[in-house]
Amino acid sequence: MNWEEYIQIWDTSWIQLVDIRQHVIRRQSKQQHLLPASSFIFVVRGQGAVWLDGDRYQLERFFVLHAGKGSNIRFEVGHEDVTYYYVLYRGTISTKASKSILKSYHINNPFQLQYACKPISPVVLYRHMESMYEEWNRRPAMERFQAKIQFYQFVYTLVQQLQLQGVAPKETDLVEQIIQYIHKHYYEPISLESMAEVWNYSIQYLSRQFKRRTGRSPIEYVIQTRMAKAKELLIQTDATVQEIAVNVGYSDVFYFTRLFKKQVGTTPVQYKNKVKTGLIVSDSPWQEFLSSMGKYSPACYIDHDNHYQLRLEGDKQMLKGIETKKGLMLMLVLTLLLAACGNGNTSRNSNPGAEPTQSTPSNQAVEKTGLRKIATVMGDVNVPANPQRVVVDWDLGPVLAVGVIPVGASNTQLEYSQFLKPFLDETVQDIGAEGSISFEKVLELAPDVIITWNKDAYSNYSKIAPTVLFDTSKYATIQEEITAMGEILDREEEAKHFVADFEKRKIAARDKIKNAIANDATISIVDYITVEKFLMVIGNLGERGGRATYDILGMKPTPKVQSEIIDKEMSRVEVSWETVNDYVGDYVIVLTVKDKAPPKLPSTWKMLDAVKNNRVIEIDMEKYFAADSYSSLLQAEDIADKISKLASSK
């Protein structure tokens, strides 16, 4: 890009000033942060050094630096203070710009370019900067407008001087920035959406550029970074698996363990033992991982489609045939056109100031377009009649309950909804783990409709296909929940059949328990396998069998569980072993995890009546993690069978 093109893009763009500040970095100190927007930095006093995405510049008075949103900037100041002005702005190209300007913008976005220099006439720039700063901080709209005029004058004067000096802008190395960001923030929540927001690029462009350079998607790289650090911690420390999981960004130790096994081939404990016995030799997995990346080494490239979740088994080959890709794109275009013709987009509530309210979706008459209008928490949405290709990121059970096998579902549900496995087949594809869904994969599946629980992801889903936000908290009963899903997916009859069958099976399960234990017997659900040094007591919300036990089977909780958990609408509480007797009832359901031994249990546990009298029912975490309506029914029947078997054994 030359400076003429640079100015032409500025001339055809919408510019918004975000903030203008003056900073002082005290001597012998450091400062580091990510730029929240495109920025000019103008040093007016002092000396030091600044690193911009790894490139070092010598700071001196009247030094100008420009960098784009998401750039990593670090200052180091020597024996004197450094004073600089900091101008944050956003720039957006006009859609009415000429094709040549738009092409130049997309190749080299000027608002992301990096350049630095010591201008030849710094006092003129200083005058513009000082006036801009003063006008901006007066606050009234007229002065803010004047500050914007001064900003344009500053940019014009600077570009004139850069052109005379022969300074060339440096294109931002987007991939290097993302890699540095991941290495620094791997233990924090990271999604493709958040990275796209940081660097102000579309999800598709960011992911495509990263994959082209590294051979893997950004979220794959996040996962591999976390696993490398986890291996390092397993080898070099005595941290527990749970402590390591949290340290590398996973609050759910079971999900971390399964992900580790997929990546490494063994569980974390097995890996640690193999290193100890010499079956695996690895002194520093973290450094090995960093070295293996090289500088975008082509050896990193793999031929399998990379989504948010790296799968070492059963990955599908990328769609390589041209005709297949054409067909996929035609399907996507047709779907988006249908949605656009129906209501312009999947509209939100027409009253932006009102709280969204959920009503059971009301199925309208099928129009000639083959679309049905349904009411949702996000407003009316046009969905296809009798959709065949459904993607669901969480509520897998209700979708299966109305007779629909989705084309895609979240890895979390596929792995932890074990009771639903018999109702699935190999055609259901993994769209990524909860919290890091691959929109690329969803796009590839060309869905007719998407079912999501995640309001934050709704906008991105809606760009792919008609999307329904399914909020189960808005339904008073499982029957209402299934009825609503039946209407969303045009499976009303199937929903009626399931609801009728649900009632029969619920009554049968309750009768089985009545014949096994006293009517006034209390029961508790506890988890001491996934936590340390305390006991987790489960209510009737969320996972771990609470919904099945208390809502479907109608079993009686202890007074403490009722008052401290269920009445307060909490899913679970953590209690000390000293108070365990207050929460555990006549019977106790205990969570277990395959291949994980329980901790050493204290005497307060062993002295419980339920434990002493062998009224303990063990359930498998993998089967009881899910809490959807269908899983909960199957869990209730399983618990009823276990209680009946326990009673008959006495």
pLDDT digits (tens, 9 = 90+) for 481-490: 999 999 999 9
53 contact partners, CB below 8 Å, separation of at least 6:
67, 71, 72, 114, 172, 173, 176, 177, 180
Is residue 412 within 8 Å of residue 258, measured between CB atoms?
no
Give domain 336-490's CATH superfamily: Nitrogenase molybdenum iron protein domain (3.40.50.1980)
State the architecture of 3-165 in CATH terms: Sandwich (2.60)
Q: Which of 7-21, 205-219, 474-488 has the lowest mean pLDDT?
A: 205-219
Query: Would you state the pLDDT for residue 173?
Result: 65
User: Is the pLDDT confidence value at 293 over 60?
Assistant: no
User: Highest-confidence range of 67-76, 247-256, 547-556, by mean pLDDT?
Assistant: 547-556
User: Is the pLDDT confidence value at 467 over 80?
Assistant: yes
Is residue 257 within 8 Å of residue 246, measured between CB atoms?
no
Query: Would you state the pLDDT for residue 401?
Result: 94
- 268-302: b or e for each residue (b if 16 or more CB lie within 10 Å)? bebbbebbeeeebeeeebbeebeeebeebeeeeee
Query: Would you state the pLDDT for residue 351?
Result: 34
Fold designation for 507-648: Rossmann fold (3.40.50)
pLDDT digits (tens, 9 = 90+) for 515-525: 889 988 999 99
Please report which confidence band the pLDDT of residue 52 belongs to, taking 50, 70 and 90 as the band edges: confident
- Its pTM stands at 0.47
Is residue 414 within 8 Å of residue 311, measured between CB atoms?
no
| Sequence ranges of the chain with CATH classification 2.60.120.280 | 3-165
Mean pLDDT of the residues in the chain? 79
Please report which confidence band the pLDDT of residue 507 belongs to, taking 50, 70 and 90 as the band edges: very high
DSSP symbol at 215: S
Fold designation for 174-300: Arc Repressor Mutant, subunit A (1.10.10)
Q: Average pLDDT in the 130-136 region?
A: 88
Q: Average pLDDT in the 169-186 region?
A: 73
Query: Would you state the pLDDT for residue 493?
Result: 94
Of 78 and 354, more confident = 78
Query: Would you state the pLDDT for residue 408?
Result: 93
Query: Would you state the pLDDT for residue 484?
Result: 93
Please report which confidence band the pLDDT of residue 573 belongs to, taking 50, 70 and 90 as the band edges: confident
Instruction: Please report which helix (H) or strand (E) contains residue 373, including its range.
Output: strand 371-376
632 contact partners, CB below 8 Å, separation of at least 6:
397, 478, 547, 548, 551, 552, 626
Report the percentage of the chain scoring pLDDT > 90: 22
Q: Where are the alpha helices (DSSP H) in 113-173?
A: 122-136, 141-165
Please report which confidence band the pLDDT of residue 326 belongs to, taking 50, 70 and 90 as the band edges: very low
How far apart (Å, rounded) are the C-alpha atoms in residues 17 and 20? Answer: 8
Q: Average pLDDT in the 78-96 region?
A: 87
pLDDT digits (tens, 9 = 90+) for 404-419: 999 999 887 887 788 8
Q: Strand pairing of 408-409 and 429-430?
A: parallel
| Sequence ranges of the chain with CATH classification 1.10.10.60 | 174-300
| Sequence ranges of the chain with CATH classification 3.40.50.1980 | 336-490, 507-648
Q: Where are the alpha helices (DSSP H) in 346-451?
A: 396-401, 411-416, 439-445
108 contact partners, CB below 8 Å, separation of at least 6:
1, 169, 171
User: Is the pLDDT confidence value at 18 over 60?
Assistant: yes
Residue 184 DSSP SS3:
helix
